[in-house]
Every structure is written in structure tokens, then in C-alpha cells.
Amino acid sequence: MDNLRYAGRRAILGLSLAAGGLIAIHPRAVVAGKAEEKEVGAVEDLMREHGVLRRALLVYSETATKLRGNTAIDPKPIQTTAQLFRSFGEDYHEQKLEEAHIFPMVAKTGGPAATLVDTLKQQHDRGREITAYILSVTGKGAIGTGDVEPMARAFETFVLMYRNHAAREDTVVFPAWKEALSARQLREMGDKFENIERQQFGHDGFEDAVKQMAQIEQALGFADLAQFTAPAPPKT
């Protein structure tokens, strides 16, 4: 399935002889004999990776609330979340994609997005510091009373920073990056990102990360989306 998925994103044009003439056949149109493989573009890839990281932010936000409410916390799922954020979010998405390929291109555009690059890099660095802190505290086996307030504060500030960070990337930086590339270059970058993902994880890193987040949410009681539906507003 991995080979089909990755092959499906490449615009390779095959030629076949039929009915006495040449008929162009696109490999993306044939997957498992019949089903069409839908291409995932580079920008969509980046934004759905942000979706995984936003689900991790939910874990951090809810954990901060529980810590401030003196609710007992199992540190293991929190540590697993931080490990996922480190490997998928920081080592792969931020370092291998954004910092290596997107930020340098955006910095050359000279537009509004270019003015954000230095701050975004600084926030990546600060995020790595906070992730290291979370891994250190949760690695102790239990969150001690002396760590409760600093941990809650670390979660809250990280979530606030990353929500703003990802929102600017989604609405300013990624569109500017896409605009700076031709259609062919954008397809090539999508292929490059797929190759980096495979080299980093040896398989489909995104689908693996989604599965891990689902397991974490199940362990913490966050799996049911309905519990986060906002209550009705007061009657006026």
C-alpha cells in the first residue's frame, strides 16, 4: 500500500498502444486495478500534519486544566504525546520541511510572510526547549507537587504559542510559498516531501502519527469528539 500511495503522487505519463494509436495512460488513474488514487499536494500535506500537532495541543491543554485542578495525572500518555511531537512535529515537519525548504524560499519573497520567518524559527527553538522539559518531567514516573505549576504553565504557553504559530503558517507562510513556486516545482516539492517522510520514518509517517494520537486520546478519555461540543449560549 505504501508503494501505491507514493507512486500515486507522481505525475508519470505512460504510453500504451491501443486501437492502432497511442493512448496516454496516467498511473494515478489505476490503483489496485480500479480505484483512483487521489493526489495529496504539498500544502495539503503540511496542513494536515498541523492537524496532528493540534490534536497533541488538545492533550497539553486538557492536562494543564487537570493539573491546576489537582487531578491525578498518568504521565505516560503525556510523555508519549511529547515524544510524538518531537519526532513528527519538530524533527520532521519543522526541521526537515519548514526550516530546510519552506522558510528559505519564503524569506526570498520579501513580502509579509518573509517578515515572519525569524520569529517562526525562534518559536521552533523555544518549542524544542519546552518539549525537552516535558519529556524530562514525565520521565520521572510521576509529576511531583513541585512540578505541577511549572508544567501547567509550560503547557499553556506552548499551546498559545503554537496555535498562533501554526495559524500564521497556514494562512500567510504556506500560501506565499505556494505562490513562489510554479505548478511543476510544487509537484516536485510534494515528491521531495514524500521521499523525506519515507527516509525519516521508513513508512507513512502521517498515518502512523494519526494512529498514535488516536491511541493517546483513547487512553486519556478524549476520543469522543462530542464531549468537546460547546454548550448552548445563555438565552437573551
Quick: pLDDT tens for 179-230. 999 999 999 999 999 999 999 998 889 999 999 999 999 999 999 999 999 9
pLDDT in the model for residue 139? 94
**223, 113, 129: which is closest to 174 by C-alpha?**
113
Q: How many whole angstroms separate alpha carbon 148 and alpha carbon 23? A: 67
pLDDT in the model for residue 36? 62
Which residues, given as ranges, of the chain have pLDDT below 50?
Answer: 1-34
230 inside domain: no
232 inside domain: no
**233, 235, 213, 236: which is closest to 223 by C-alpha?**
213
Helices and strands, counts by H and E, the chain: 9, 2
Q: How many whole angstroms separate alpha carbon 157 and alpha carbon 161? A: 6
216 inside domain: yes
Owning domain of residue 3: 1-39
108 and 5 inside one domain: no
Q: How many whole angstroms separate alpha carbon 168 and alpha carbon 86? A: 21
233 inside domain: no
Amino acid in position 84: L
The whole-model pTM stands at 0.82
62 and 117 inside one domain: yes
Counting the structural domains of the chain, the total is: 2
152 inside domain: yes
pLDDT in the model for residue 24? 43
Continuous segment of H or E residues that includes residue 15: strand 14-18
26 and 106 inside one domain: no
DSSP state of 101: I
105 inside domain: yes
51 and 161 inside one domain: yes
Q: What is the CATH classification number for the domain harbouring 190?
A: 1.20.120.520
165 and 80 inside one domain: yes
34 and 74 inside one domain: no
DSSP state of 18: E
Q: How many whole angstroms separate alpha carbon 83 and alpha carbon 75? A: 12
